[in-house]
Amino acid sequence: MFNMKYRLLLLSLLLIIGSILSACGSDSKLPTSQSPHSSSAAVENETRLYKDFSGREAVIPVRPQRVIMISDNPGDMLALGVKPIGNDVLGEPFVYKSELDGIEDIGYPHNLEKIISLEPDLILQTFDNDAADIEVYEKMSKIAPTALYNRGAGTYERIREIADILGVKQSAEDWITRYESKSQKMWDRLDLKEGETATVYLRLAGRYYVMGSYSITLFLYEPRGFRPTAKVQELIDKNEYFMEISEEVLPDYAGDYIFLLSLPGTEDEKAAKELMESPIWNTIPAVKEGRVTVADISWNASDPITMERILDELPKWLGK
């Protein structure tokens, strides 16, 4: 996202998808910005009028071949079997870093000359309808057909939207079916008590944040999962993705389970460890009962790849 508060938050999470592959690349890797169905030049050259969620229209390829993704969630594309040729958040700490080789870094602020040189046939832009997003859209739409998608949507809705834009609708349905099966088994294994709550805290850029309904909490607060605490629910009701808080009020938001995330090897990780030694932290019931998970902030994401991997990690974190 281009709102600076999201960039600050998501300086923690996720790395981007990619790998521009040569024709002789391994069959185990995804083709760069190609859907599994883009086999003929005739289909590749077809276009259609697309109206995105914001009401904007663009004439886009039916089977886009050279997609630049302006987004903090490149895993949304990668999970659909389509790789972008360029992205603007390649340096962020996603859990699928190894899958990003070969994607061109278009920078942030965006390097327009680099974008033009890549000759995209589609630019896919995350959008929250703020002034910064609109400014980016106006620049991008002068370079290539630009389709917007709703960054604030839940994972299922978001990847269905992206799959529609890319012409690979079935890929989204296939992923959702596979994920649902795995997810059900994991939640059954955890066997949470009804109404058990969880809270996610971030230590990021020298500040503490509590998460509303965004990124990892979209996973944790699903119907079969944890519930937000009353104070966190207030954030969700106000459509607040996250909020900066002081150490003194951390206990006010604490749930039955706590997840404390920071970036390894940084001053933030050091501060998080110091917090865990503080008197105020040790007054929290979840801390006293050993229900605290300390993890890499790269898990604070809601793209399909991260969510699938969390299915394996969460039982380990909870000792189940």
Residue 33: per-residue pLDDT? 58
Measured CA distances, 278 to 208, 247, 248, 262 (Å): 15, 10, 11, 17
Quickly state the pLDDT bin for 68 (edges 50, 70, 90).
very high
CA–CA separation, 94 vs 17, rounded Å? 9
Q: Which residue has the higher pLDDT, 16 or 249?
A: 249
Residue 8: per-residue pLDDT? 41
Dig out the tokens for 54 from the structure: 């914001």
Phi-psi region of 95 (alpha: psi -120 to 50; beta: other; left: phi over 0): alpha
**Single-letter code of the amino acid located at 180:** E
% of residues, the chain, pLDDT over 70: 86
- pLDDT (mean) for 130-156: 95
The DSSP 8-state label assigned to residue 206 in this structure reads T
What does the CA dihedral 54, 60, 65, 69 come to, rounded to 10 degrees? -20
The DSSP 8-state label assigned to residue 207 in this structure reads E
Residue 135: per-residue pLDDT? 96
Residue 128: per-residue pLDDT? 87
Quickly state the pLDDT bin for 213 (edges 50, 70, 90).
confident
CA–CA separation, 109 vs 304, rounded Å? 26
pTM of the entire predicted model: 0.83
Q: Which residue has the higher pLDDT, 27 or 170?
A: 170
pLDDT at 123 over 60: yes
Residue 43: per-residue pLDDT? 59
Residue 19: per-residue pLDDT? 36
pLDDT at 22 over 90: no
Dig out the tokens for 197 from the structure: 């709550």
Poorest-confidence range of 22-31, 147-156, 280-289? 22-31
CA–CA separation, 147 vs 31, rounded Å? 21
Q: Which residues contact 231 (CB under 8 A, 6 or more apart)?
A: 210, 252, 253
Beta strands across the sheet bearing 122-127: 104-105, 86-87, 67-70, 122-127, 146-150
Q: At what angle do helices 155-166 and 304-318 cross, to 10 degrees?
A: 150
pLDDT tens-digit series, residues 219-273: 999 999 999 999 999 999 998 999 999 999 999 999 999 999 999 999 999 999 9
Measured CA distances, 265 to 129, 204, 301 (Å): 35, 12, 20
Average pLDDT, the chain: 89
Which class is 191-318 in CATH? alpha beta
pLDDT tens-digit series, residues 300-311: 999 999 999 999
Contact between 124 and 133 (Cβ < 8 Å): no
Residue 151: per-residue pLDDT? 87
Q: End-to-end CA distance of the chain: give it in Å, rounded.
A: 35
Residue 302: per-residue pLDDT? 92
CATH 3.40.50.1980 range(s) for the chain read 4-178, 191-318
- How many residues make up the chain in this entry? 320
pLDDT at 142 over 60: yes
Residue 214: per-residue pLDDT? 86
> How is the chain split among helix, strand and coil, in percent rounded to 5?
40, 20, 45
Cβ neighbours of 260 (radius 10 Å): 22
**Single-letter code of the amino acid located at 149:** Y
Dig out the tokens for 6 from the structure: 């999201």
- pLDDT (mean) for 86-105: 93
Q: Which residues contact 177 (CB under 8 A, 6 or more apart)?
A: none
Is the domain spanning 4-178 CATH 3.40.50.1980? The answer is: yes
% of residues, the chain, pLDDT over 90: 81
CA–CA separation, 310 vs 300, rounded Å? 10
